[in-house]
Structure formats: structure tokens, C-alpha cells
Amino acid sequence: MKLWRTIWNTKGVGRWALLIGLALTLVFVVFAIFAPVIAPYDFAQTRVDGVKFPKVAHPGGDYLFGTSGDFYDVFSRVVWGSRTALEVIILSVIFAGVIGVPLGLLSGFIGGKVDKLLVFFMDALYSFPSLLLAIVFAFLLRDKVGGGVVSAALSLTAIYIPQYFRVVRNTTVSAREATYVEAARAIGAGPFTIMRKYLFANVVQSVPVIATLNAADALGTLAALGFLGLGIQPTEAAEWGYDIQVGLSYAQGGVWWPSLFPAMAIILLITALTFVGEGLNETVNPALRRRRMKTVTFPDRTVVAGGTDVTADVAAEGKNS
């Protein structure tokens, strides 16, 4: 409630970007939650009552967005793809935060050789192109975990751990010499007590903003993995990047719908998550937030018997004193 009041009491482009982003994201959340109800068919369904769907059928009629070259209903794949995208995004962001935040807190507070070793390792990971790193982990995890949602989420987790680590570590280095930390040391609090009770709440304030921006990037990377055939397999879940890759082979023949609708879903969800991240940054950050001016109402001038203005008399007395 406090966060919502802070957002509501701001003004400017950031507030509207946040509200628009939340509204668009909510649409995809509804698709993800109610996919069995909204989608007319299952994500891997290719036939009804033993009759196979037509191949690359035009949009309209029984197939709102048409059918693909794999005999899938495109609208159903788009709806089910919302669930896959949000599952991968949420899992990858949670995994990265659970690993990166404690490591950054520990590294920044302890310092010394531990800090140097962790910083070196995280900088080495951060220096790799994100897509290349995701491809490497996708190869490594495919035989052990499979080609499902968990495998894709773990492949993306390696990309974002260094980002959480660097932000939390830098904030911790600045906060560990603060007065309240020194006071905690003076009363006998141990290192883990100080990190858990005094530092954690102060160094994770920027994590939600990073998480929303990483979510938008995670969707793009997931689509790239699917486009390259290294993401989620089509029989395990609907994935928009894979659908685009399959649809492009028919695009030269004028069959545009199998690729267009998954691509539009990716663009809209990335835009929505980016709006949420940028909007949160501008509404929550005190340095960027613009507060809405509140209307100030002055009391009415009261006139008593004899025509005396009470408000004016009080003002005169205050001036004479």
C-alpha cells in the first residue's frame, strides 16, 4: 500500500508509463492464468475428433489467427505462449535474485580476498555476450534437465546473477560504514546479524527495478533461444521464438500470420515490462520522482456581529506581536 501511495502521488511520464505497462502486462497475465479457458485448443494439439487441422490456414473462421506449418492453431499457441514466457521470466528472475543478492551482500560486507574473488568471477561472466552465455548453458543443461521451462529459466539465470551482484555489492560497500552499522557493531551484533537485520532492507531497494528490466531482456533472450532451436521444445510448451522460426520458412510464399502474431506478442510484452521498469525507476527513486501538488484550502473569512473580521484581527495581532 505504501508503494502504491508513492506511485499515485507522483506525476509525469514515468507514472503513465508504469500504469500503461501494468495494464498491458495484466493482459498477458490473464492469458497465462486462464489459458485453458481462453485458448480453443491445447498448445500441441493438431487435430479434433481425429481430423487434422489444415496446414497454414488463413486467419478467420474456426482459426482466429490461422494455423501454422506444424498444423498448430496460432491463436492457441500465442495464448499458451504467455504462460511459458511468464513462467520462464519469473523463475529466471527469482533464481538470479536468490543467488546474486546474497553473494553481493556478502562480498560487499566482508571485503578482502572473498570480495576480490567474487568480483573477478562475476565480471568474467558479465563480459560474455548475454545470448552467447545463454546458448552455452542451454547446451550444458539440455541433456541433464531437458528442454523444458526449468532448463530455459536456468539458462537465463546465469546472465542476470552478475547484475544483481554488482548492484547489491556496490550499495553494501557504501552502507557498511554507515552510523547505524557502527552502532550495531558496538552493541555486539555479529556480521550475519548486521547483514540480515540492518543492511539487507537498505541494499535491495533497487532490486525490483532491475528485476522488471531483466524480465524484458529475459523474454527477448528466450525468444532468441527458441528461434535458434535451443529453447523449449514445441511438444513441452508453446514458445513464441520457435513459432517465429517455423513461420519464417513460409513467409516468402505470402503466409505471414504464423510469424506475425507471436512476434507482436513478444513486442507488446517486452514493451510492457520495459514501461513497468522505467516507470518504477522514475516513481520510486526519490531523485527522479516528481510529486503531485496537493490542493491547499484556506479557511473562510468569518464575520461576526458588528462586522468584525476574525481572521483579519488574528492576522493583525500576530503582526503586532
| pLDDT tens-digit map of 252-309 | 888 899 999 999 999 999 999 998 888 777 766 554 455 555 555 656 555 555 555 5
Beta-carbon contacts of 141 under 8 Å, excluding residues fewer than 6 positions away, are: 151, 154, 155
| Mean pLDDT (whole number) for 74-96 | 93
Q: Which fold has domain 2-320?
A: MetI-like fold (1.10.3720)
pLDDT of 317 above 80: no
The pTM assigned to this predicted structure is: 0.80
Q: Is there a contact between 63 and 57 (Cβ–Cβ < 8 Å)?
A: yes
Crossing angle, helix 257-284 and helix 207-227, to 10 degrees? 170
Nearest Cα neighbor of 68 from 265, 238, 268, 266 is 238
17-74 tens-digit pLDDT: 888 999 999 999 999 999 999 999 998 888 888 889 888 888 988 888 999 888 899 9
The answer to whether residues 74 and 62 touch, using CB atoms and an 8 Å cutoff, is: no
Output the CA torsion 82→88→90→91 (10° steps).
150
pLDDT score of 219 more than 80: yes
Residue 319 has pLDDT above 70, yes or no: no
- Predicted confidence at residue 6, as pLDDT, reads 57
d(CA 175, CA 162) in angstroms, rounded, equals: 20
> How high is the pLDDT of residue 231?
80
pLDDT of residue 4: 53
Q: Mean pLDDT over residues 163-186, rounded?
A: 84
What is the pLDDT averaged over residues 74-99? Answer: 92
Residues for the chain: how many in total? Answer: 321
Q: Measure the CA angle with vertex 24, ends 286 and 34; round to 5°.
A: 125
Tell me which residue has cell 514466457. 85
The CA distance from 232 to 229, in Å, is: 8
- What does the pLDDT read at residue 151? 85
Position 318 scores a pLDDT of: 46
Between CA 269 and CA 264 the distance in angstroms is: 9
- SS3 state at 309: strand
Mark 285-296 as b/e (b = at least 16 C-beta within 10 Å).
eeeebeeeeeee
What digits encode the pLDDT tens for the residues 180-201?
A: 778 878 888 777 888 888 788 7
